[in-house]
Amino acid sequence: MCSYIVMKAALRDSSAKGSKGWMSVDTANVYYDHPFHAPLDHALGIDFINEAAGGRERVAVELSAESARELIKQIEAALANGEREHAIAVAANNTPVANCEYLT
Amino acid sequence: MAYEGLQTETAKFRGHNGDMSEGYFARPARSGKVGGIVVIHGAGGWDEWVCEVARKFAHHGFAAISPNFYVRFGEGSPDDVAARARPTGGASDAEVMGDVLGAAAFLRAQANVNGKIGVIGFCSGGRATYMAACTIPNLQAAVDCWGGSVVVNDPATLTPKRPVAPIDLSANITAPMLGLFGNDDMNPSRADVDKIEATLKRLGKSYEFHRYDGAGHNFLNYNGPGYRLQQAQDGWKRVMAFYGKHLSDPSGTR
């Protein structure tokens, strides 16, 4: 809406790959405005940048509102799956070896 | 058909606060004095389309300059520079008005410009156009193309870079104004355009509004989904006629 309203997400230990290869990113600028490339009046834009390094390079996406909401759901699902699997693996690692019959 | 030619280049001029600014400058190559037009880009930045608009005006017999209002955000592709500008709130009203003033002075300094200057802007550039009409003296014509946030419905959206609602400055307008709006637009909404028109009418200003059914935002720009052929054809015809009336010398533009 030509509003210049930008939500900033602080990122830690994060990277993005752009035209010049991988870079560390510390900020995601998130906005809903007129896109440059997506065939829409308005799109959800995300610019991944390294603000501490000046923020001149970015990895950008423009998503339809529907796609952005689907992405949010799948990010949440991927995190939930990953954390659940990770918890199972950690539990298995913490299981006493004597209880693992195939090792005896 | 007579020989037609254009000259185009990136030109340097002094803008806000004496800063060195730049603009895409296009003018007809033929002899004769012509009117000048400052083309004000929107939040998307100094992109290929606004430069094409400058060339279009040159083709129609005007000298036009499209300033890069994001010049203070460094170089790069228009979308990357705009992405850099966006989180900071973009160019401030003061910077844009100073740069428009500088661009108008640049045009007036050209030997083939007749001294009459118009402004045109799109989207947030339309807002800047309205503000220029309110704050820059000695403009001869202003064309607001779907300028958003001329009406500020929520004062909380005012920022240090955009501290006032342009509509509140309307009493200062001296130049005649042409407005092009799509009736499906959300910013400006129909109610916003009604309010602007009522304000100009109440103040006795010279204005001409055209409001198009079947069009929303950005309907002149064929690079986006908002483009509407018939509305764009009529809109450009209105723009050229308006500038022909207010900027041309009788023997100048066609």
Predicted pLDDT at A4: 85
- Smallest CA–CA separation between A28 and chain B, in Å? 11
Q: Which residues are CB-neighbours of B103 under 8 A, at least 6 positions away?
A: B13, B15, B21, B23, B38, B65, B67
Predicted pLDDT at A101: 57
> Could you read off the pLDDT of B47-57 as tens digits, one per residue?
999 999 999 99
Residue B136 has pLDDT above 60, yes or no: yes
B43–A58 CB contact, under 8 Å: no
The alpha-carbon radius of gyration of chain A (Å, integer) is 20
Chain A contact for B45 (CB, 8 A cutoff): no
Total-model pTM: 0.91
pLDDT band for position B250 (50/70/90)?
low
Amino acid at site B226: G
Query: Residue B196, Cβ neighbours under 10 Å: how many?
Result: 24
> Could you read off the pLDDT of B33-87 as tens digits, one per residue?
999 999 999 999 999 999 999 999 999 999 999 999 999 999 999 999 999 999 9
Give the residue on A whose Cα is nearest the Cα of B187: A1
Residue B2 has pLDDT above 70, yes or no: no
Q: Which run of H or of E encompasses A28?
A: strand A21-33
pLDDT band for position B253 (50/70/90)?
very low
Task: Give per-residue burial for B124-153: e unless 16+ CB within 10 Å, then b.
Answer: bbbbbbbbbbbbbeebbbbbbbbbbbbbbe
> Could you read off the pLDDT of B180-226 as tens digits, one per residue?
999 999 999 999 999 999 999 999 999 999 999 999 999 999 999 99
Answer for the pair B65, B46: CB distance below 8 angstroms, yes or no.
no
Instruction: State mean pLDDT over B12-32.
Output: 96
Single out the residue of B112, B238, B114 nearest to residue B176, CA to CA: B238
Residue B6 has pLDDT above 80, yes or no: yes
- Smallest CA–CA separation between B137 and chain A, in Å? 26
Chain B contact for A18 (CB, 8 A cutoff): no
Chain B contact for A93 (CB, 8 A cutoff): no
- The angle at the Cα of B178, spanning B90 to B46, to the nearest 5 degrees, equals 30
Instruction: State mean pLDDT over B95-123.
Output: 97
Determine what percent of chain B is predicted with pLDDT higher than 70. Answer: 97
Predicted pLDDT at A46: 98
Instruction: State mean pLDDT over B1-13.
Output: 88
Find the distance separating the first CA and the last CA of chain A, reported in whole Å: 67
- A39: chain B residues, CB-CB within 8 Å: 224-225
- A45: chain B residues, CB-CB within 8 Å: 83
Single out the residue of B54, B61, B56, B60 nearest to residue B31, CA to CA: B61
Predicted pLDDT at A93: 85
Give the Å distances, CA to CA, from B216 to B148, B184, B225.
12, 4, 10
C-alpha–C-alpha distance, residues B160 and B90, integer Å: 11
Chain A contact for B210 (CB, 8 A cutoff): no
Tokens of B183: 């009736």
Instruction: State mean pLDDT over A37-50.
Output: 96
Answer for the pair B16, B102: CB distance below 8 angstroms, yes or no.
yes
Mean pLDDT computed over every residue of chain B: 95
Residue listed under structure tokens 């000048």: B36
Residue A96 has pLDDT above 80, yes or no: no
Predicted pLDDT at A104: 46
Q: Which residues are CB-neighbours of B154 under 8 A, at least 6 positions away?
A: none
Q: Which residues are CB-neighbours of A36 under 8 A, at least 6 positions away?
A: A62, B44, B78, B79, B82
Residue B231 has pLDDT above 90, yes or no: yes
Q: How does DSSP assign B222-245, residue by residue?
A: TTSTT--HHHHHHHHHHHHHHHHH
Answer for the pair B239, B178: CB distance below 8 angstroms, yes or no.
yes
Residue A97 has pLDDT above 70, yes or no: no
Chain A contact for B214 (CB, 8 A cutoff): no
Predicted pLDDT at B205: 98
Answer for the pair A11, A27: CB distance below 8 angstroms, yes or no.
yes
The alpha-carbon radius of gyration of chain B (Å, integer) is 17
ipTM of the complex: 0.81
> Could you read off the pLDDT of A15-31 as tens digits, one per residue?
999 988 999 999 999 99
B80–A58 CB contact, under 8 Å: yes
Find the distance separating the first CA and the last CA of chain B, reported in whole Å: 13
Single out the residue of B130, B214, B212 nearest to residue B175, CA to CA: B130
Residue B110 has pLDDT above 80, yes or no: yes
